[in-house]
Structure 1
């Protein structure tokens, strides 16, 4: 004889009568609900009636099911109220999916702010913020966690920065300090972040640390566990799998864990009493969410710090223009070491053509892919029994044009956008129909008489990056020395042991060397600097700094050779190890030509008619367009393969809208309203709108 199952205490009681006999809850019978509908014209809350049999279960933050436009849809209950402004009859809340309140008021407000900033829809941000439900995980008995009393962290590491000690004092005192931190060469930055989290825990507040990838998560999590205890910190990443990720997320939501380390999805972690929000290497493209509405972690954490009164720490070996804008605006302070400390920690960095002696010893240094000075540095490091890091760009062709003489990226004279070769049958854009002529990839204007703004040359060349045989070539040049590859089609190594070896890695895949690298060779610098996106100089320097930071100090024989001309400002910033100077110059230059973050920019991509409709709605004088709005394009972009598999491809265009930075919110509102108008009319074409896109080529 089977034993009847014991009913769960948390399961809502089923109604004893049919829906026609339901009665409203005795108190606060109106529920404000966010329905999972990703349509801009429905981007608001809706009121529903709470039946009496769901009165106890329907608490703010729970997942519910409601009937919307004849369908049963998921949603979240934001709050309960006594009455509704809606004059008609309200529908019922059909079901409480789970009694677990997963949506906190802080996360709900943050999601709304992110949606407004990026011209997005609240339902889309909710999907980024809250993981999918697992009923089995919710029913598990939470594991008891031992929470040792936090101890004051060692201050020696932060003491190398004049403002490092005051930063720890602010965190210990629970003050909302905002700082941009430039880590020293060779800095053990995971330990520094763990020390900042420990100082925050002394104030009884929680800490959230966001890093680019899984390798960084592992390092920071290990540092926090060693300093605070394994039970006090949890790692949140998409690689965990749905069940384990939800289990850890629930531990955070229930208050069992007060320190979170994770990738970009962790920016919405439901931590209470936030004291510290930190992001490492904010320029890494992994911090930009590819899904709609495409928020960037740095901006999400800025909004959250402002809303919850928490401290914000933006750290990295390099500095982005956005971080520099925070400093120049006075919103954040700069945490940097003095020049003497930087020089003592940095390796010796050599560029091509920095002295006549170097060129006299190696006359073909400017033309060689691996010049003599690079071979010398590698041989010296291997002879000393240390590994050598060789950084090479990814192989392949890039659709851009550069000056043949100085290899500077070719830019449009009208809008400073990158020049490229137009499609054979383009015919779109301002002057894009001029067959065979270089054309701007932003505004579409043809360029019949190009002249380089740096050297005056009229000749153009296509940019090619080739690095497929680097490992084989270096293996032949250094017989008997082990050659290891990381990235670029091979597995990414987390670390390499001490000892002589050649480590060939693509940018971002550089492993940590036990004891540090003896030398680093940064190859094909011209190719990295000639890419036609907005952040080419900033991104190149960021990747160079990341590679050079793992090299021993010059007093211990550490050498870095960058195969690029020494006169280039980006190379000079690397040689002097001065990311602040480069960020200041980069921000000033972007302000002069109208690039983000000095301005706010939006990209509208889709079928030509739909793109034109969105842009016309934003620019319509009758709808009070944002002051100073400027339209660039549209231009045709490379479309995906036709879904039928016939090889045909639909025509897609991209238009750019830019406004002064102070008008960014109005631009986002105008774009949201334009999309809402289209979805209300059930327009069939799909349009993608991105505010402050991370890359525009």
Structure 2
């Protein structure tokens, strides 16, 4: 007798659950099985799944299209990776739920690159595809496109901006001829037609002239606009609908519609050149001939989301996979880029010493030794020689003042005992946003209106760190009647793109320096000791990169250009700036890292999280078969990672030789897959080749 569900009077009986019927729709006659990458976060589901292709989708569900599939009792997004005749799965297959769009937005080249990136950084394919393919915009897809778009005339074969570099002209000619050279380039300042945007544009135009596409990835939108303007001067105009050829701007700040329109122009082959920021490294450029990464040391090139790839490494992988040329350039030289040169994988493209001296400004380091004869005035933040240089050079044009910190007074201390002023709620550092303001915590934002020192009870405050806003205020008082421009992400006017060629004081934080068309008359780089302080990996090359980026905006020595470095910075960094020799510093750093066993001489994985979770992940990696010995460093507590009253997070470093790097990534990914499948507790963050080991 079947069991009976009893019900109360007046209460409706529960509805009987119905099992979903098996699909009875006709299946595609040709290649009826689709292998799909389903957008699923768990690491143990990082594989393709097979689905039947209904006959109604046979013509539209091609590789690269977006689809909806049934997974785990609910609908999920996915991409068709390929169509095959037979399935590897032995059981019954479920058909595709729905075709989201017939537009093939995932090209085979990008899919292969995404898989390589996921494998290299121990991530999942779904995570990488979220970075590579922008969200769909249906209205943009429906826009009418010309069936036969008008062609843009080919660019002129001009490579004058490369004439002063050893191997520069040969690199451009090789790209134009269809080759795949790889170069690390140290750029120099110069006139408008000699600056780095013109050189990048001429290299990209050479790829277009050779019948291939080009991809240029830059740190921010200002650099994107400068390269697009240089491309227009090199006869590669901006792409417009109904036109075949030109360059598109692919950045997130454009907005969803404009970004997706530019993406479709690239995937449909309507644009030859893609210029964009970090995510543009995955742009679907047809027949890629040249990939460019400018200023690879800029932190904006490092992806903050899992699996944390870096643009330089992504483009290096893409160069190998697609047989494209690669150009990694900047005014500075990172240790990672120098490693490419040292290994012979890439060639060095730089100018000889005579050209360097002719095209760069005069650089002087105002250390305490240099200022000893100034007496007590040597301790001033803006010593007399710097003040005198600003006064004299203002008559010839704008003067740039670089300040490493933003804000007014980012950090303050007790005026009596000099103890650091801390928030009473979270113990974060206190700072001032303006002269008459109240101290505010940089962590929780609380205002400490009644603050008193815990050590001596005093209420007076003194400055410890001076930001760009306070610097601009002091310079305005020192040079009355001179306009003062503040450029920075936190400044009231934001990041200023360009300043006119007339006397003005321009105060900017690193990376926010405006461009002066004729160059700055002088530049003063303040608080040099702050830039080289700290224990982070690569702090010295990064400081030199920031200084050189500002110094490159100054006129050459023949036109009176001068750069002053103020402060007792680390001597090796100061000398690299004075000699304008970032490659020498990077080479020395690389040799030291090889001795110490630090990246990029080795491959390293950082595992951070709760102690139990980190221990479980590391134990499985240690048990995995690796072709080389595994060094386990830690676990050690992570500073500033306390979780209330509980113990802080810990970090363990896993280190292997570079030859075993791929095996380490595989072992880490497998351990994360086991953790996901078992639903282990705690939190874990894994990063391959971390940049911060301090």
Query: Shorter-chain TM-score: which interval?
Result: 0.7 to 0.9
CA contact 2:368–2:378 (8 Å) conserved in 1? no
Q: 1:388 aligns with which of 389, 396, 399?
A: 399
Q: How big is the alpha-carbon RMSD for the aligned residues of Structure 1 and Structure 2?
A: 2.2
Task: Report deviation, 1:576.
Answer: 0.7
For 1:336 and 1:597, the matched residues in 2 are separated by: 22
Q: 2:185 aligns with which of 155, 177, 181?
A: 181
For 1:185 and 1:556, the matched residues in 2 are separated by: 13
1:494 paired residue number: 497
For 1:243 and 1:488, the matched residues in 2 are separated by: 25
CA contact 2:120–2:662 (8 Å) conserved in 1? yes
2:162 paired residue number: 158
For 2:130 and 2:393, the matched residues in 1 are separated by: 49
For 1:641 and 1:110, the matched residues in 2 are separated by: 38
Task: Report deviation, 1:195.
Answer: 0.5
Task: Report deviation, 1:351.
Answer: 0.6
Q: 1:191 aligns with which of 184, 198, 201?
A: 198
For 2:610 and 2:306, the matched residues in 1 are separated by: 18
For 1:371 and 1:270, the matched residues in 2 are separated by: 52
For 1:661 and 1:270, the matched residues in 2 are separated by: 30
For 1:161 and 1:254, the matched residues in 2 are separated by: 36
1:442 paired residue number: none
For the structure 1 residues 567 and 23, does the alpha-carbon distance in structure 2 shift closer, same or farther, using more than 3 Å as the test?
closer
For 1:500 and 1:339, the matched residues in 2 are separated by: 32
For 2:629 and 2:37, the matched residues in 1 are separated by: 35
Task: Report deviation, 1:626.
Answer: 5.6
Q: Helix, strand or coil: the match of 1:87? A: coil
Task: Report deviation, 1:650.
Answer: 7.3
Find out whether 1:576 has 2:573 as its counterpart. Answer: no
Q: Helix, strand or coil: the match of 1:125? A: helix
CA contact 1:147–1:229 (8 Å) conserved in 2? no
For 2:145 and 2:646, the matched residues in 1 are separated by: 52
Q: 1:589 aligns with which of 592, 617, 621?
A: 592
For 1:579 and 1:640, the matched residues in 2 are separated by: 35
Q: 2:563 aligns with which of 560, 564, 586?
A: 560
For 2:54 and 2:570, the matched residues in 1 are separated by: 73
2:439 paired residue number: none
Task: Report deviation, 1:368.
Answer: 2.7
Find out whether 1:689 has 2:670 as its counterpart. Answer: no
1:191-230 → structure 2 map (5 Å cutoff): 191-227=198-234, 228-230=236-238
For the structure 1 residues 222 and 639, does the alpha-carbon distance in structure 2 shift closer, same or farther, using more than 3 Å as the test?
same
For 1:651 and 1:472, the matched residues in 2 are separated by: 41
2:452 paired residue number: none
Find out whether 1:303 has 2:317 as its counterpart. Answer: yes
Find out whether 1:663 has 2:660 as its counterpart. Answer: yes
For 1:245 and 1:607, the matched residues in 2 are separated by: 39
Q: Helix, strand or coil: the match of 1:370? A: coil
For 1:573 and 1:651, the matched residues in 2 are separated by: 39
CA contact 1:564–1:571 (8 Å) conserved in 2? no
1:191-340 → structure 2 map (5 Å cutoff): 191-227=198-234, 228-231=236-239, 232-340=246-354
For 1:465 and 1:625, the matched residues in 2 are separated by: 48
Q: Helix, strand or coil: the match of 2:101? A: coil
CA contact 2:610–2:682 (8 Å) conserved in 1? yes
For the structure 1 residues 626 and 632, does the alpha-carbon distance in structure 2 shift closer, same or farther, using more than 3 Å as the test?
farther
Q: Helix, strand or coil: the match of 2:375? A: coil
Residues 69-99 of structure 1, C-alpha deviations (whole Å, 9 max, x = no match):
2121111111111111211111111111111
Q: 1:148 aligns with which of 149, 152, 174?
A: 152
Residues 309-348 of structure 1, C-alpha deviations (whole Å, 9 max, x = no match):
0000001100111111111111111111111011011111
CA contact 1:285–1:694 (8 Å) conserved in 2? no
Residues 128-156 of structure 1, C-alpha deviations (whole Å, 9 max, x = no match):
00011111111111267543231333222
1:359 paired residue number: 372
2:485 paired residue number: 484
For 1:499 and 1:145, the matched residues in 2 are separated by: 45
1:60-99 → structure 2 map (5 Å cutoff): 60-99=63-102
Find out whether 1:43 has 2:40 as its counterpart. Answer: no
CA contact 1:207–1:277 (8 Å) conserved in 2? yes
CA contact 1:389–1:505 (8 Å) conserved in 2? yes
- Return the TM-score normalized by structure 2: 0.84
For 1:56 and 1:514, the matched residues in 2 are separated by: 54
Q: Helix, strand or coil: the match of 2:379? A: coil
Task: Report deviation, 1:464.
Answer: 5.8
For 2:642 and 2:496, the matched residues in 1 are separated by: 34
1:678 paired residue number: 675
CA contact 1:639–1:649 (8 Å) conserved in 2? no
Find out whether 1:543 has 2:551 as its counterpart. Answer: no
In the alignment, structure 2 segments of 5+ residues that lack a partner are 1-20, 240-245, 412-425, 428-462
Task: Report deviation, 1:694.
Answer: 2.8
For 2:301 and 2:113, the matched residues in 1 are separated by: 17
For 1:664 and 1:382, the matched residues in 2 are separated by: 53
For 2:304 and 2:540, the matched residues in 1 are separated by: 22
Q: Helix, strand or coil: the match of 2:97? A: strand
Q: Helix, strand or coil: the match of 2:271? A: coil
For the structure 1 residues 375 and 153, does the alpha-carbon distance in structure 2 shift closer, same or farther, using more than 3 Å as the test?
farther
Find out whether 1:341 has 2:355 as its counterpart. Answer: yes
CA contact 2:488–2:509 (8 Å) conserved in 1? yes
CA contact 1:566–1:572 (8 Å) conserved in 2? no
Find out whether 1:379 has 2:376 as its counterpart. Answer: no
The size of the alignment, in residue pairs, is 610
For 1:53 and 1:502, the matched residues in 2 are separated by: 67
For the structure 1 residues 693 and 155, does the alpha-carbon distance in structure 2 shift closer, same or farther, using more than 3 Å as the test?
same
For 1:248 and 1:578, the matched residues in 2 are separated by: 38
For 1:25 and 1:76, the matched residues in 2 are separated by: 18
My pick for the range that moved more, 368-377 or 548-557, is 368-377
For 1:239 and 1:44, the matched residues in 2 are separated by: 32
For 2:89 and 2:270, the matched residues in 1 are separated by: 40
My pick for the range that moved more, 135-144 or 610-619, is 135-144
CA contact 1:32–1:47 (8 Å) conserved in 2? yes
For the structure 1 residues 649 and 374, does the alpha-carbon distance in structure 2 shift closer, same or farther, using more than 3 Å as the test?
farther
1:20-31 → structure 2 map (5 Å cutoff): 20-31=23-34
- Return the TM-score normalized by structure 1: 0.84
